[in-house]
Amino acid sequence: MGCLGALLFLLGSLGALAQRCEMPEVDSKIVEMLGQRLLPWMDQLSLEQLNPSIYVGLRLSSLQAETKEALYLHSLKLHYQQSLLGSASSGGDNDDSQAKPSMGQLALYLLALKANCEFVGGHKGDRLVSQLKRFLEDEKRAIGHDHKGHPHTSYYQYGLAILALCVHQKRVHESVVGKLLHAVEHDRPVHQGHLSVDTAAMAGLAFTCLKRSNLNPDQRERIILAIGTVQEKILRSQTPEGHFGSVYSTPLALQLLMTSSMPGVELRSVCYKARTALLTSLQNEAFQNALMISQLLPALNHKSYVDLISPDCLAPRAILEPAFETPSDTQAPEVIRVMLMVSSVLPPYHNSIPVPAGSSLEDVLKKAQELGGFTYGTQASLSGPYLTSVMGKEVGEREFWQLLQVPDTPLLQGIADYRPKDGETIELRLVSW
């Protein structure tokens, strides 16, 4: 073999080794149906209901919602800027009725701006960037010099914030990036790594952005290694069906895998398998939640949040038409019984709750409250209503009310989306995380 032949052979085998995560197109009807489920959410324009993730997901998808989309971004700007920057006339501290967006929500808002090809800038933009940097500094302090502490929010939001600043080409201090690197480096799989697949994927997306933008050149080697660590973690988490972790962490995991090639890994078949698993889940109507759909649509369009470094705002996207309403069954649904159990309180609560078939777990909780002897409270979040108190017991620091199917299977969905079956027993359990 001549010199050129050898070179071609080498390049050929390198190409075969370094495969990309490319997924064959998913039927456009399926994608359209997912997009249509976002439309009703886009009519809700109060701060509590606004969800910047929906806007980002749509912009990175193959779909567009025309004027609705523009109006949605307008409302996001109005409400987020007002609540974050506050106006002197709002009376300062006597206007606490609406909670300020969290670090992660501010980060998603900045991603939404970039998804519309807008750089944050000007006086207001700079203040938002400073706020996000301050949030990160506070979190860095909470984690501490010895890395023994925890962020007040989560490493997921920590990664999201670094990613958002990065796509706007805003540099964050090495010590801030260092905390996320440390978390990934010390997430030992042998000890059942504590970072979830979603959190690892989000960290990986942030690192990939830093690598591509070369914003922290002195940490480049560590960043590249950490991307590899995250990729491995995600690959190891693939279930026999093909999901990474669970069905709902697969969208972000795919976003990450799509940003990279991995020498020596059959990425093509790994991603093909994930796609098959996703298609089955889509047929089973697993994707009803708007936040989940917003994380899935980019992956189905071969895009990731890292593409927000230089988004293609002129890419043609199909116009989304509202779905036809299918007339609902007029027959009264049968009544089912769901057992509701709370053992984290004294005396423990245990009751059989009658609800119409097809009710959500939230309907069950409402009915139980109506029947007496049970109370609960929720907080709005981008994923829907988050259960924060049960029988008057509010969650403490790093605690949450876990939803389980007895004896011990955590639910994969929240109270608004999960629909228990007749005779099922659901436990609400106060746990630390």
Q: How far is the CB of 244 from ligand B12 (least distance, A)?
A: 9
Q: Which is nearer to ligand B12, 107 or 267 (CB)?
A: 107
Selected from 410, 422, 423, 432, the binder of ligand B12 by CB under 6 A is 410
The piece of 166-174, 195-203, 204-212, 269-277 that touches ligand B12 (CB under 6 A) is 195-203
Q: Residue 41, annotated ligand binder?
A: no
Q: How far is the CB of 403 from ligand B12 (least distance, A)?
A: 4
- Note whether 384 binds ligand B12 by CB under 6 A: yes
The piece of 61-69, 120-128, 193-201, 358-366 that touches ligand B12 (CB under 6 A) is 193-201
Site for ligand B12 in 283-322 (CB under 6 A): 289, 292, 295
Q: How far is the CB of 242 from ligand B12 (least distance, A)?
A: 15
| Residues 6+ positions from 267 with CB-CB distance below 8 Å | 19, 20, 21, 257, 261
- Note whether 81 binds ligand B12 by CB under 6 A: no
- Note whether 239 binds ligand B12 by CB under 6 A: no
| Residues 6+ positions from 261 with CB-CB distance below 8 Å | 18, 19, 20, 267
318-333 in b/e form (b: 16+ CB < 10 A) is eebeeeeeeeeeeeee
Contact 247, 286 (CB under 8 A): yes
- Note whether 151 binds ligand B12 by CB under 6 A: no
Task: Provide the 8-state DSSP code for 266.
Answer: -
Site for ligand B12 in 98-137 (CB under 6 A): 102, 104-105, 108
Q: Tell me, what amino acid is at 51? A: N
Q: In what order do the strands lie in the sheet with 335-342?
A: 349-356, 335-342, 425-432, 399-405, 409-410
For residues 22 to 61, the per-residue mask of contacts with ligand B12, x marking binding by CB under 6 A and - elsewhere, is ----------------------------------------
| Residues 6+ positions from 376 with CB-CB distance below 8 Å | 365, 369, 387, 389, 390, 391, 428
Mapped onto helix, strand or coil, the DSSP state of residue 205 is helix
- Note whether 237 binds ligand B12 by CB under 6 A: no
- Note whether 279 binds ligand B12 by CB under 6 A: no
Degrees to nearest 5, angle at CA 429 with 424 and 430? 165
Contact 306, 209 (CB under 8 A): yes
The piece of 213-221, 346-354, 358-366, 407-415 that touches ligand B12 (CB under 6 A) is 407-415
Phi then psi dihedrals of residue 356, to 5 deg? -65, 145
Q: Which is nearer to ligand B12, 73 or 411 (CB)?
A: 411
Contact 299, 255 (CB under 8 A): yes
- Note whether 205 binds ligand B12 by CB under 6 A: no
Contact 42, 54 (CB under 8 A): yes
Q: Residue 401, annotated ligand binder?
A: yes
The piece of 296-304, 310-318, 368-376, 403-411 that touches ligand B12 (CB under 6 A) is 403-411
- Note whether 375 binds ligand B12 by CB under 6 A: no
Q: Residue 55, annotated ligand binder?
A: no
- Note whether 433 binds ligand B12 by CB under 6 A: yes
Contact 86, 79 (CB under 8 A): no
- E strand spans, 157-205: none
What residues pair up with 399 in beta bridges, in sequence order? Answer: 432
Binding-site positions for cyanocob(III)alamin read 153-157, 198, 295, 386-387, 401-403, 411, 433
Q: Which residues bind ligand B12 (CB under 6 A)?
A: 102, 104-105, 108, 153-154, 156-157, 196, 198-199, 246, 248-249, 252, 289, 292, 295, 381-387, 400-403, 410-415, 417, 433
